[in-house]
Homo-oligomer: A and B are copies of this chain.
């Protein structure tokens, strides 16, 4: 795929349109025709650049991530976690929550989308997280055989999903900071 043919500005514009459509109509009703129409591009261009709808959607979501978790390095695990929370502001988190909610269902009925999200979004995020957990182990903040280490993702996912499901609210920075200090760091023995 010759992704180089589009300028970064044009690519960014296309990804923005995909996310807007995703919020408006959901994944199943989002068509390449609609993306082409909204962005004044041809379907041929879209397919040449991205190959398929799942790949286009996954890349749009990845492009939307404000910064790379793997870049964070504050010198302490608590500092790294809190920096991670500060990447997105409350408004972005609310928008992202709405997006993700729509995708949870689509993921279960579209294995190709699940696969694309796994490769382009979930795994890079998990790798970023494991980089700063490994640094905490190297610094001696966490013991290498700490049993909660393999469950950090589970704790974090719980914060997002339960906040919505049980409390009927989106997460925000204050909530996530309190959860990190009350749950994640104590479970890790920090």
Which A positions have Cβ atoms within 8 angstroms of B?
Answer: 101, 104-105, 107-108, 122, 126, 147-148, 150-151, 153-159, 161-163, 165-166, 178-179, 181-184, 186-187, 189
Q: Which residue of B lies closest to A188 (CB)?
A: B186
Q: A158-B157, A162-B158 are contacts. A183–B105 as well, Cβ < 8 Å?
A: no
- A112 to B: closest C-beta gap in Å: 14
Q: Please tell me if the beta carbons of B187 and A183 are within 8 angstroms of each other in the complex.
A: yes
Q: Which residue of B lies closest to A182 (CB)?
A: B147
- A3 to B: closest C-beta gap in Å: 28
Q: Please tell me if the beta carbons of A186 and B104 are within 8 angstroms of each other in the complex.
A: no
Residues of B within 8 A of A101 (CB): 108
Main secondary structure, interface of A, reads: helix
Q: For the complex, what is the distance from the CA of A187 to the CA of B179, rounded to whole Å? A: 11
Q: For the complex, what is the distance from the CA of A163 to the CA of B147, rounded to whole Å? A: 16
Q: Please tell me if the beta carbons of A182 and B187 are within 8 angstroms of each other in the complex.
A: yes
Contact of A161 among B151, B157, B179 (CB under 8 A): B157
- A127 to B: closest C-beta gap in Å: 12
Q: Please tell me if the beta carbons of A153 and B157 are within 8 angstroms of each other in the complex.
A: no
| Listed A/B pairs (5) with beta-carbon separation below 8 Å | A151-B159, A153-B166, A157-B158, A157-B165, A182-B187
Q: Please tell me if the beta carbons of A156 and B157 are within 8 angstroms of each other in the complex.
A: no
Q: A156-B158, A162-B158, A165-B157 are contacts. A183–B151 as well, Cβ < 8 Å?
A: yes
Q: Please tell me if the beta carbons of B183 and A155 are within 8 angstroms of each other in the complex.
A: yes
Residues of B within 8 A of A105 (CB): 104-105
Q: For the complex, what is the distance from the CA of A152 to the CA of B126, rounded to whole Å? A: 23
Q: Which residue of B lies closest to A158 (CB)?
A: B158
